[in-house]
Amino acid sequence: MEYYGTSEHMIEMIFNFNMEIMFSMNIKFSINTKFTMNMKYILRNIGAFLLTFILIFLCCTNFKSQIVFAKKQETLIRKAYQPLSKISKNRYILEDDGVYRKKMSEDELILLSGKDEPMDIAKSATVMITGDLMCLRAQQYGAKSKSTYVFNDSFSFVKQIFSNSDLVIGNLETLTSHSNYYTYEQKTIEGSPNCNAPGTFLDALRYAGFDAVVTANNHCLDGGMAGIRETIEKLQEYHIAQVGTYLGNDLPRFLIYEVNGIKIGVLSYTEYINFRQSLSANDLNNFVNCYSKASVERDVKEAKKAGAEFVIAYNHWGIENTTEITNLQKQHAKEMAEAGVDVIIGSHPHCLQEAVYIKTSDKRQVLCMYSMGNFVSSMATEANNDTIILRLLVSKEDGKVTLKQSGYYPLKVFPVYENKHYVIVPTQKEFQKGNTTTALEKAGKRIKNVLGTTIKEWKVKESK
């Protein structure tokens, strides 16, 4: 049985059905005016009436989700949760030439004053990159407070690590749309996971230290165009830059950050989109960065024309919940490397996959992380909760920008840790006051086994 109508239609069906029963009862009453009515017949009809009522009630309950989603979600009136505190400006400001630059201190401005050319402040930049920033049902329940949602505890340990980075980027695999149902209210839509979080999830990202997020993934259309629009608006409110989804045929389709004199481009693509049939092919390409060889070649060329000297690109690809890499991932990684991408970051599998270097026809060595896994989530398996922070040291020498060094911090997500919910915890004992646990040690070994020997664990003493 399937029901896709409104609740009003359901009530009308109940009323009509019950009237038919009552009419048949009235006929029986008229047959014998001397109170010789058939009591068994009456009782049978009353029983049928009650049974029908119970069955219809159960149908309404079982098919609640279809009734809810038969209505346009844009008409949902609900509370849009306000920021937990005053939102400070991001450390990077978008300037008129389309480049994000750090706000300079008064001392730096004094040093630069009177000079014809900007100072060469530094020759290297530290970039930290994460996997999927999920905000699933259990995470939302764990973050619920009296009148809002507070997710900051998830990032309380990694905040320290991010503070030593010049640029922090992650994959935002959730909407923040107040006119759509949050995940804890509606776990699935038409059988697919619904990824939508309260806007205060972005408080936690600012608290942690994220500068930018990529938004092209299979859940970006979970809330339709309202979901894309409101997520972009929330990110703008929190001063977090994003790339991957758009409000129209927007240009450019990349971010450029000038970090210590090095211009770094950031791109985002997806090969999977839930509910892609809800948009025409033309609209889909206007609103979402869908992967194709041609689009990567175009965007890398445009980014470099705009000044990018080093390009990092995410691609949402592969198969979920497996460490196995598909041939299509390998093919598309090669295409991205040949197009001029310098570091390739994979997402979608929700677990770590191998890191490799891809040699290009122009003799470059391109780092490819086939999957960064979840950075935070409430998914259940060990593989879903083993994660890393990728640490890149990008160097500029004699005008040439290269990846000088790469490494990672191994981490594990705990559902509960020190009375906090869904906490990302470094496995290295240096972050635990010299202590460790069996769970952390095992996670560190699993991570090393999956990533292979291409990149090494970044020791804490090396980052000082």
SS (H, E, C) 196-245: ECCCCHHHHHHHHCCCEEECCCCCCCCCHHHHHHHHHHHHHHCCCEEECE
Residue 273 is assigned to a structural domain of this protein: yes
d(C-alpha 172, C-alpha 386), whole Å: 18
Residue 229 is assigned to a structural domain of this protein: yes
pLDDT at 218 over 50: yes
pLDDT at 32 over 60: no
Average pLDDT, the chain: 85
Give residue 300's pLDDT band: very low, low, confident or very high (50, 70, 90).
Answer: very high
pLDDT at 36 over 90: no
3-state SS class at 84:
coil
Residue 382 is assigned to a structural domain of this protein: yes
- Output 249 or 354, whichever has higher pLDDT: 354
Over its C-alpha atoms, the chain yields an Rg (Å, rounded) of 28
* Token pair 């970051």 in the structure block, residue: 345
d(C-alpha 262, C-alpha 402), whole Å: 10
Residue 58 is assigned to a structural domain of this protein: no
Within 10 A of 42 (CB to CB), how many other CB atoms are there? 13
* Token pair 């026809």 in the structure block, residue: 361
Residue 153 is assigned to a structural domain of this protein: yes
CA distances from 93 to 90, 237, 239, 258, 424 (A): 7, 14, 9, 10, 28
pLDDT at 329 over 70: yes
Residue 57 is assigned to a structural domain of this protein: no
Residue 46 is assigned to a structural domain of this protein: no
- Which domain does 327 fall in, by range? 92-112+121-457
Question: Partners of 193 in the beta sheet?
Answer: 188
pLDDT at 366 over 70: yes
Within 10 A of 9 (CB to CB), how many other CB atoms are there? 12
Closest alpha carbon to 274 in 215, 192, 185, 348: 192
Within 10 A of 437 (CB to CB), how many other CB atoms are there? 14
Check which CATH number belongs to the domain holding 406 and give it. Answer: 3.60.21.10
Digit-coded pLDDT (tens) for 128-174: 999 999 999 999 999 999 899 999 999 999 999 999 999 999 999 99
> What is the pTM for the complete model shown?
0.82
Average pLDDT rounded to a whole number, residues 390-411: 96
Residue 210 is assigned to a structural domain of this protein: yes
Give residue 250's pLDDT band: very low, low, confident or very high (50, 70, 90).
Answer: confident
Identify whether the C-beta of residue 411 lies closer than 8 Å to the C-beta of residue 400.
no
Q: What pLDDT score does 154 carry?
A: 98
Structural domain count, the chain: 1
